[in-house]
Amino acid sequence: MDLNTLYVSSCPLPDEKKLVKAIETAFDRKLSLSKNASLLNGYRPQVLDHIWFNLRKADGLYIELRHNSDIEGRLELPNYADHPLILFTRVNEALATANGADPREVEEYVVSAVSRLPYEVLLVGHPK
């Protein structure tokens, strides 16, 4: 079973690239920017302009940063309207284990890395 974690960030949208750099530093990896329509269509009914993401197969960790408000003004997480960005992480247990990583240690790494981000980041939950 994958370990999914959803966070929201208070980072203002004009500082989005600063948060991306901070995530890259905290997680020691480079995020890729995607504006690929086929990929973004998977977020419907949200209409996103782009996402930032990274998958490191060695530990099975997928990281994604996206806007809470889509280009039509709809909020994905309306209870967090004052948090413009969503940070999603997934630890793929099968991939992590196959590559010799302990999924629980990877999840602890995520918690530690998130705690080092320069903006307020709130844990929303663990979606299925």
3-class DSSP state of 54: strand
Question: How large is the average pLDDT for residues 33-46?
Answer: 93
pLDDT for position 127: 83
CATH number of the domain where residue 55 is located? 3.30.310
Residue 2: band (very low, low, confident or very high) from pLDDT cuts 50, 70, 90: confident
Total domain count for the chain? 1
110 contacts 61 by C-beta, under 8 angstroms: yes
Q: Convert the pLDDT of each residue in 60-118 to its tens digit.
A: 999 999 999 999 999 999 999 999 999 999 999 999 999 999 999 999 999 999 999 99
Domain hosting residue 109, numbered range: 3-125
Comparing 6-15, 18-27, 36-45, the range with the smallest average pLDDT is 36-45
In this structure, is the dihedral angle defined by the CA atoms of residues 25, 27, 32 and 36, taken in order, positive or negative?
Answer: negative
In this structure, is the dihedral angle defined by the CA atoms of residues 31, 37, 39 and 40, taken in order, positive or negative?
Answer: positive
Question: How large is the average pLDDT for residues 34-62?
Answer: 94
pLDDT for position 73: 95
Angle, helix 16-27 to helix 103-115, in steps of 10 degrees = 140
C-alpha to C-alpha distance for 97 and 93, rounded to whole angstroms:
6
Distance of alpha carbon 94 from the chain centroid: 20
- Please name the residue that has the structure tokens 């949208």: 13
Q: Given a cut of 90, is residue 128 above it in pLDDT?
A: no
